[in-house]
């Protein structure tokens, strides 16, 4: 299976110019999907970049101030939508129920979903990491037909590893990947959380992830390019 590399730019960079420069400096690698802030999507798409969004609302249109619908994202050329990122779960209080509605809405528009799951540090310390994943998956995918699973990519991102420099070891990550695969069979599973040029290859070669979701390192051209070099295919 061809590897999937999601570059999650989060709320960066601060100008459109910088975002175009960054995309150009990375070059055009067909494995990479850049998920920039909403205002940059259109211009990046016009540049020829493969784009995804960092979130979507669940309704198609209407009186929902500040929200962006899956219909709009589809029309603008997004292929993938990240749903349930831990920053949305824990900073913006998104529940499994909200995430479930968003996933359903994106699938209904024919968008592919990067469904993020992962345990917090104290949950791992209490040995609850498998239970947490199980309930995030069960509730997040409630009512979704098995036929639609092929349009979902799971991103395992332990909360304690995101943006901390404290990446999950490939062995621990592999344990979680195997657990997720047991629940889902053939679904693609990505790893995310403090991926850098030194550890990236391990998640693909030692642990057998199908790709990576990269935050901080995707904003640094040299680092990101050297990550891409480490990932064969
Ligand atoms: P990070 O972010 O690579 O900076 O840890 C990962 C993510 O966006 O989830």
pLDDT (tens digit, 9 = 90+) per residue, 97-156? 999 999 999 999 999 999 999 999 999 999 999 999 999 999 999 999 989 999 999 999
Question: Is residue 123 among the annotated active site residues?
Answer: no
Q: Which atom of ligand 1 is nearest to the CA of 194?
A: 5
Residue 17 has pLDDT above 80, yes or no: yes
Confidence (pLDDT) at 233: 74
Query: Does residue 213 line the site of ligand 1, with CB under 6 A?
Result: yes
CA nearest 141: which of 99, 93, 182?
A: 99
The pTM score is: 0.97
Q: For 184-215, how does the pLDDT look when each residue is reduced to its tens digit (9 = 90+)?
A: 877 899 999 999 999 999 999 999 999 999 99
> Active site residue: 129, 157, 174, 223, which one?
157
Q: Is 66 left (phi over 0), alpha (psi -120 to 50) or beta?
A: left
Question: Is residue 94 among the annotated active site residues?
Answer: no
Query: Does residue 216 line the site of ligand 1, with CB under 6 A?
Result: yes
CB 144 within 8 A of CB 113: no
> Active site residue: 85, 123, 129, 174, which one?
85
The CA-based angle 9-11-13, given to 5 degrees, is 70
Residue 183 has pLDDT above 90, yes or no: no
């Amino acid at each position: 299976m061809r590897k999937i590399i999601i570059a999650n730019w989060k709320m960066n960079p601060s100008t459109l110019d910088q975002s175009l420069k960054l995309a150009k400096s990375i070059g055009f690698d067909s494995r990479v999907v850049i998920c920039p802030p909403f205002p940059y999507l259109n211009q990046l798409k016009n540049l020829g970049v493969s784009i995804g969004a960092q979130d979507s609302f669940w309704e198609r249109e209407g009186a929902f101030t500040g929200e962006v619908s899956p219909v709009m994202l589809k029309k603008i050329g997004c292929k993938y939508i990240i749903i349930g990122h831990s920053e949305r779960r824990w900073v913006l209080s998104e529940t499994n129920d909200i995430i479930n509605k968003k996933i359903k809405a994106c699938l209904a528009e024919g968008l592919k979903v990067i469904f993020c799951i992962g345990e917090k540090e104290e949950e791992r310390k209490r040995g609850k990491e498998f239970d947490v994943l199980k309930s995030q998956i069960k509730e997040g995918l409630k009512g979704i037909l098995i036929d639609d699973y092929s349009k979902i990519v799971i991103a395992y991102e332990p909360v304690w590893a995101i943006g901390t420099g404290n990446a999950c070891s490939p062995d621990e990550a592999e344990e979680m990947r195997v657990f997720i695969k047991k629940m889902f069979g053939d679904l693609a599973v990505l790893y995310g959380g403090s991926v850098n040029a030194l550890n990236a290859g391990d998640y693909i070669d030692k642990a057998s992830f199908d790709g990576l979701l990269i935050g901080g390192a995707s904003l640094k051209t040299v680092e990101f390019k050297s990550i891409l070099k480490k990932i064969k295919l």
